[in-house]
Amino acid sequence: MKKRADITKLTNDELFELSREETQPVWFGELYRRYIPMVYGLCLKYLRNEADAQDAVMDLFEEVSGKIKLYDIQNFHTWLYSVVKNHCLARLRKAKELFFVNIDEEFMENGHFFTLIDRERSDEEESALLFCMKELGEEQRRSIEYFYYENRSYADIVDLTGYPLNKVKSFIQNGKRNLKNCITKILQSI
């Protein structure tokens, strides 16, 4: 059995094997500590909030320490990356809500728009949004869903869809305008 004083000299692979074999959380604790920058960075990329990313890092410590012995993991780094990404996406799905807000014209050229922020929406706003999303062309709808619902970057959307970058920007901009017009028309007719 390795001594605690030797822990910093162990490789990540050695710590991983000890974490799977031993009941002492010290091995996994050291292994996870080494991956915290990657875990935090990935959480911050997806969650876009420092406090949420920090919470996710702590939650993931518990989740990963419990799962590490359950799976046949060939590459810990790759497996951990996948677990972190899925954890963040699950958090986003759980918290995913689209709300109606006023945004200054200087910030967004289209003025009023549904965006991901913390405010409840009325049944009318919800219905209008759902209807209008279905009315968009596929390219605009997919681009807006990835950008606003899944917090994907332009580069992510290019990778996921194969659309050129300038088209992704155009689909999002035109989609926002079309949604705004559609939603405004529906809400004014109520």
Q: Are 48 and 26 in a shared domain? A: yes
Phi, psi (degrees; rounded to nearest 5) at 152 = -85, 150
Q: Which of 70, 95, 120 is the last residue of a domain?
A: 95
Do 129 and 183 form a contact (C-beta atoms < 8 A)? Answer: yes
Region 45-66: what's the mean pLDDT?
92
- Tens digit of each residue's pLDDT (9 = 90 or more) over 81-92: 999 999 999 888
Number of neighbouring beta carbons within 10 Å of residue 172: 19
Number of structural domains, the chain?
Answer: 2
- DSSP for residue 99: E
Model confidence, pTM: 0.49
Beta bridge partners of 110: none
> Strand, helix or coil at 71?
coil
Q: Which of 80, 95, 110 is the last residue of a domain?
A: 95
Do 179 and 144 form a contact (C-beta atoms < 8 A)? Answer: yes
Q: Are 66 and 107 in a shared domain? A: no
- DSSP for residue 106: T
- Tens digit of each residue's pLDDT (9 = 90 or more) over 120-134: 567 777 788 888 889
CATH number at residue 70: 1.10.1740.10
